[in-house]
Amino acid sequence: MRDPKEKKLAEIAKKDEHISYKQVTTQPKKGVMNWLVGRPLPSADAPHQTIGKAVGLAVFASDALSSTAYATQEILVILALAGAGAFGLSIPLSIAIVVLLVIVTISYEQTIHAYPGGGGAYIVARENLGELPAQTAGASLLTDYILTVAVSVSSGIAQLVSAFPQLLDFQVELAVAAVFFIMAINLRGVKESGMAFSIPTYFFIIMLFLTVGIGFFRFVTGSLGQLTDPPELHLIGPVTGLTAFLVLRAFASGTAALTGIEAISNGITAFKEPRSRNAGITLLWMSAILSVLFLSVTFLSNQIGAVPSETETVISQIARTVYNGRNLLYLGTVAATTIILIMAANTAFADFPRLSAIQAGDGFLPRQLTYRGSRLVYSRGIALLAVVASLIIILFKASVTALIPLYAIGVFLSFTLSQVGMARRWWKVGKLANGKSRKKKATNGDGFHAEELTYDPRWRLKMIINSFGGLCTGIVMVVFAVTKFSQGAWVIIILLPVLVMIFFTIKHHYKDLAKRLSLQHYKKPVAIRKQKVIVPVSGVHRGTLEAVRFAKSISNDITAVHVAVDAAEGEKTLIKWQEWAKDVNLVILGSPYRLLYEPLLKYIKTVAADTKANEIVTVVVPEFVPRVGWHSILHTRAAQLLRWRLLFTPKVVIVEVPYVVD
């Protein structure tokens, strides 16, 4: 009993003679699940199932870092519409995006320290903006995590398939298999999945730094040269002049580099203590790596004269120029890029279950999502993510082109909400008296949701930064939504409000239920003095007599009821009853329309309607239980059906007396 909470519980129980505490160390059954996900972990192990900064970077940064593989290209593909001469604009645009990245990073850095319980944009919005913005942030993040899995796995498999065209017919199957593979690793727990996925993430970081490092060295020494044998330029529309809207669009496309930046703030609880500090440092590292790599890639692409193309990625063009051809280092870089795209899904697997558990804890999602599985991860959230992402992959036939326009709106909506929330927080801080602080009570058991406001003299500056950041991300979101509306963004614009509505409906249900089950104003009803027992009998056999035996032990007001669908069968039952249970009343209900349940239900309801406050109707159902599963199709499930039909009848309790044939 290593858990201090359990110890306390045991101590309280000891003081009351009516209450006892026992620890049952039943472990989950050994089986295929055990082999798949590893031995079960006791709750007391939770603190050990956390990760350090190095593994944390691998788990939470893969999504963000993977964007360096395509962000530059996304800018170039838009600028190409203004002619190749406009490619130079990608450098100032990238710098602007990095500035935005810095603002968003600062915002999340503050969030991490202000809300160490995790939840990022969701918690910020909840604490500062209210329930509706919070649920909107939750809905957009959850949707985006699902899309991250679908998009990143689909793009990874697309790369694999372009290398092995014979796999083309199995693209969807392979993508779904990959999703379930990542799911299985994640079910083993955050520590193990972090370890497993560290290698490819660091491999990618090293390869990309090596590439841009050598690139810069060759640029400085003047030996870099130009891209030879450039691929065909990909034009997504007719070439027009350079308009402000086009520049805005290029900027918006480039902000794809920011997706995934929020991951750490949602998953703080996965980090070792001091978790806020560890998570904060990891976030800074991630942003730094991302900024350097993104700027370097953009710079080098300009230097070598890379072009956006459908047949070769910009990373590939840079690598082959830097390494002077398609050699081993080149292949390593391309392979690392492919793997990181699939790995990006892992970040979603780390965050989706945590966020949904927080939302479920708040009552906006089914409570089952708060339950930790045998490996101390939110297994149901992990499974849910895998299933929904797979369905989307199947629905969109694993097509990246079809999925991309749905993506990113959610992220930028949550960025905006998070920034606006933080701005509002600084405003609240500014209203505090100098040197004062205000604590808010924790909203759930783990104590991490407590908000603590302390006066900060620089609140005005911080508020301005966050407001500006929110404005920028808000604009990006709108540009995204407008430019990609008809390609699929409309799905998200319809889906988000629907999800938010569902969340509130769930919340309403739980709230309503809690009120109705609540013991406030509860008056204990009178004790039950008499049970009117009804025993439905289909025939007279051992099972029936067993039920009658039970009935006799709870009451002496017993009536057996037989529905005579077939009069001959009724006669048989009657005669056997006289022989075996003549001391118990039997009512035979003739049923000329051969209905079995309706007459019985009518009878029970009539009796129930005629009970006093201290009486109750108990239906004792003899139930034959077949030992072999399929045998149940050979029997009408009378007891089952009666249960369903009687559950809503007030003052009726159902007793099943099983008769197991052994």
Residues 435-494 that bind its own copies (CB under 8 A): 445
Task: Note whether 188 binds its own copies by CB under 8 A.
Answer: no
**305 contacts 160 by C-beta, under 8 angstroms:** no
Nearer to its own copies, 294 or 577 (CB): 577
Residue given tokens 């796995």 in the structure block: 153
Shortest Cβ distance from residue 343 to its own copies (Å)? 29
> Can you tell me which of 189, 373, 381, 410 binds its own copies, judged by CB under 8 A?
373
**Residues contacting its own copies: total by CB under 8 A:** 121
Shortest Cβ distance from residue 566 to its own copies (Å)? 7
Distances (CA, A) of 257 to 231, 406, 622: 24, 16, 66
Residue given tokens 């949602």 in the structure block: 266
Helix H or strand E encompassing 168: none
Nearer to its own copies, 370 or 466 (CB): 370
Q: How far is residue 618's CA from residue 533's CA, in Å, rounded to a whole number?
A: 5
From 84-92, 294-302, 467-475, 652-660, span contacting its own copies (CB under 8 A): 652-660
| Encoded tokens for 153 | 């796995």
Task: Note whether 610 binds its own copies by CB under 8 A.
Answer: no
Strand, coil or helix: 625? strand
Task: Note whether 512 binds its own copies by CB under 8 A.
Answer: yes
Task: Note whether 24 binds its own copies by CB under 8 A.
Answer: yes
Compute the Cα dihedral for 205, 208, 214, 215 and give only its sign: negative
Task: Note whether 223 binds its own copies by CB under 8 A.
Answer: no
Nearer to its own copies, 243 or 368 (CB): 368
Shortest Cβ distance from residue 184 to its own copies (Å)? 20
Task: Note whether 368 binds its own copies by CB under 8 A.
Answer: yes
**111 contacts 103 by C-beta, under 8 angstroms:** no
Task: Note whether 613 binds its own copies by CB under 8 A.
Answer: no
Shortest Cβ distance from residue 607 to its own copies (Å)? 13
Task: Note whether 654 binds its own copies by CB under 8 A.
Answer: yes
Sorted by sequence, the CB contacts under 8 Å of residue 481 that are 6+ apart come out as: 409, 489, 493
Nearer to its own copies, 21 or 245 (CB): 21
Q: Helix 328-361 and helix 314-322: axis angle, to 10°?
A: 140
Shortest Cβ distance from residue 379 to its own copies (Å)? 10
Task: Note whether 383 binds its own copies by CB under 8 A.
Answer: no
Residue given tokens 């955050």 in the structure block: 190
Helix H or strand E encompassing 366: none
> Can you tell me which of 586, 604, 608, 617 binds its own copies, judged by CB under 8 A?
586
Nearer to its own copies, 54 or 613 (CB): 613
> Can you tell me which of 616, 617, 638, 642 binds its own copies, judged by CB under 8 A?
616
- Residues 518-577 contacting its own copies, CB under 8 A: 518-519, 522, 524-525, 527-529, 531, 540-543, 545, 549-550, 552-554, 563-571, 574-577
| Encoded tokens for 549 | 């035996």
Shortest Cβ distance from residue 32 to its own copies (Å)? 18
Shortest Cβ distance from residue 598 to its own copies (Å)? 4
Task: Note whether 433 binds its own copies by CB under 8 A.
Answer: no
Strand, coil or helix: 624? strand
Shortest Cβ distance from residue 363 to its own copies (Å)? 10
Nearer to its own copies, 273 or 512 (CB): 512
- Residues 2-21 contacting its own copies, CB under 8 A: 3, 5-6, 8-10, 12-13, 16, 18-21
Task: Note whether 598 binds its own copies by CB under 8 A.
Answer: yes
Shortest Cβ distance from residue 452 to its own copies (Å)? 21
Question: Of 575, 573, 554, 555, which is closest to residue 564 (Cα–Cα)?
Answer: 573
DSSP letter at 635 equals S
Nearer to its own copies, 483 or 559 (CB): 559
Shortest Cβ distance from residue 374 to its own copies (Å)? 6
> Can you tell me which of 220, 241, 244, 593 binds its own copies, judged by CB under 8 A?
593
> Can you tell me which of 267, 367, 403, 501 binds its own copies, judged by CB under 8 A?
367
**426 contacts 465 by C-beta, under 8 angstroms:** no
Nearer to its own copies, 213 or 658 (CB): 658
**368 contacts 382 by C-beta, under 8 angstroms:** no
Compute the Cα dihedral for 89, 90, 94, 97 and give only its sign: positive
At position 593, the amino acid (one-letter code) is: Y
Residue given tokens 């924790």 in the structure block: 442
Q: How far is residue 204's CA from residue 181's CA, in Å, rounded to a whole number?
A: 20
From 150-158, 207-215, 432-440, 509-517, span contacting its own copies (CB under 8 A): 509-517
| Encoded tokens for 522 | 């509860």
Nearer to its own copies, 198 or 591 (CB): 591
Nearer to its own copies, 11 or 232 (CB): 11
| Encoded tokens for 405 | 């326009």
DSSP letter at 496 equals H
Nearer to its own copies, 211 or 269 (CB): 269
Distances (CA, A) of 273 to 46, 110, 153: 12, 17, 32
From 78-86, 165-173, 294-302, 582-590, span contacting its own copies (CB under 8 A): 582-590
Shortest Cβ distance from residue 639 to its own copies (Å)? 10
389 Rama class: left (phi>0) / alpha (psi -120 to 50) / beta:
alpha
Secondary structure (DSSP) of 522-578:
--PPPPP-EEEEEEE-SS-SHHHHHHHHHHHHH-S-EEEEEEESSHHHHHHHHHHHH
Question: Of 112, 125, 127, which is closest to residue 269 (Cα–Cα)?
Answer: 112
Nearer to its own copies, 12 or 95 (CB): 12
- Residues 35-94 contacting its own copies, CB under 8 A: 40-44
CA 7, chain centre distance (Å): 32
* Side-chain-side CA neighbours of residue 172 (13 Å): 10
Beta strands 615-625; 530-536: pairing state: parallel
> Can you tell me which of 374, 418, 419, 473 binds its own copies, judged by CB under 8 A?
374
